Amino acid sequence: MSRYWVQRLGFALLGLAALAVVAPILVVIGIIVVEGMGAVSWEFITAMPFDGMKQGGIFPALVGTLVLTLGTALVAIPIGVGGTIYLAEYARDTWVTRCIRLAIVNLAGIPSIVYGLFGLGMFVLFLRMGTSILAGALTLAIMTLPVIISTAEEALRAVPTEFRTVSASLGGTRWQGIRYIILPQALPGIITGVILGLLRAAGETAPILFTVAAFFLPRLPQSPFDQTMALPYHLYVISTQVPGMPLRIQHGTALVLLALVLSMNLMATIIRSYFRRRRQW
């Protein structure tokens, strides 16, 4: 019966591999939460940094990241949802459609730093937006498109064909069917996709390095043409560029960023599982 021992040994090894994947995640989150808890307070979140960022809080960086994420949403949602509707409801299987799919795969694969270069070349310099929230949000929006489209398309395709047939049989036009039947049914999936895309935008550093991020700017952004601090870049700056930075502040910043991103992740998961259970088809 030795081959059953082989099987047992093999399964144990597979389990170990899974453990080796998951355990470090818990360690990372655990260490950052434990070390960061001491630093995070209401004041840390709402105060301006001062004394070369060695004292005070992270308010402008936090607001900057929220503003950037909002700007990204304003650009990415219409383009992403529109593109998804085209792919799922209108596009026929032609070579052009295959090109669009290939383009989406490629957008997903382009390194984030290359998005940064593109944003610098096109928005900051060519279109003369300067390093601004506008340039940064546009760059991040293009980067999040593939995430939004691929998740949202799955949601649209999951709506049964009968829904479309019934809508048409009642005399509805194609667009009426999409507007009043398909989109409402697919909404939770679309929202999940949007959140997953935005959470990527909120955590990214490389695309904003040359398009918007300010090293130290202790005030809130005034207009879309302003530079702003942003949490991920701020964490990079205080952990590598500023000598003698108190560890406490670094850990606190890492914790706030991690909490922001993970809470968005949790929101997406909850929306998805809640609506999956409630769905009647």
Partner 1 sequence: MFARQQAAAAHANWGEFVIEAFIRVLGFSTIGFVLLIFLFLLREGVPIFYKVPPSNLFGIHWYPIFDLFGTLPLLLGSVFVTVTAILIALPLGVATAVFVREVAPNWAREVLKPMIEVLAGIPSVVLGFFGMHVVAPLIRETLGAPTGLTVFTGGLLLAYMALPTIISVAEDALDAVPKSFRDAGLAMGATQWQTIWRVVVPAARSGITTAVMLGMGRAIGETMAVMMVTGNAARMPLSLDALFKPARTMTATIAAEMGEVAQGSAHYHALFGIGIILFILTLLINLVAVSTIFKKQRRGGLR
Per CB under 8 A, 117 contacts partner 1 = yes
The region of 37-45, 49-57, 100-108, 159-167 touching partner 1 under the rule CB under 8 A is 100-108
Among 52, 121, 160, 184, which residue sits at the site for partner 1 (rule: CB under 8 A)?
121
* Integer Cα distance of 205 and 139 in angstroms: 12
Find the binding residues for partner 1 in span 22-41 (CB under 8 A). 22, 24-26, 28-29, 31-32
Find the binding residues for partner 1 in span 217-236 (CB under 8 A). 232-233, 235-236
The tokens for 46 are: 């709402």
The region of 17-25, 39-47, 52-60, 218-226 touching partner 1 under the rule CB under 8 A is 17-25
Among 34, 74, 99, 166, which residue sits at the site for partner 1 (rule: CB under 8 A)?
99
Residue of 76, 92, 89 whose CA lies nearest to 176: 89
Per CB under 8 A, 145 contacts partner 1 = yes
* Integer Cα distance of 65 and 204 in angstroms: 10
Q: How far is the CB of 189 from partner 1 (least distance, A)?
A: 16
Residue type, 148: I
Find the binding residues for partner 1 in span 179-218 (CB under 8 A). 199-200, 202-206, 209-210
> Is residue 202 within 8 Å of 222, Cβ to Cβ?
no
Q: Which x/- pattern, by CB under 8 A, does the window 69-88 give for partner 1?
A: ---------xx--xx-xxx-
The region of 50-58, 66-74, 183-191, 251-259 touching partner 1 under the rule CB under 8 A is 251-259
Quick one: CA dihedral 87, 91, 95, 96, positive or negative?
Answer: negative
* Integer Cα distance of 181 and 161 in angstroms: 11
The tokens for 202 are: 């909120």
Per CB under 8 A, 275 contacts partner 1 = no
Q: How far is the CB of 112 from partner 1 (least distance, A)?
A: 6
Classified as helix, coil or strand, 66 is helix
The region of 42-50, 55-63, 221-229, 264-272 touching partner 1 under the rule CB under 8 A is 264-272
- The CA distances from residue 99 to 102, 103, 105, 168, in Å, are 5, 6, 10, 29
The tokens for 247 are: 């560890």
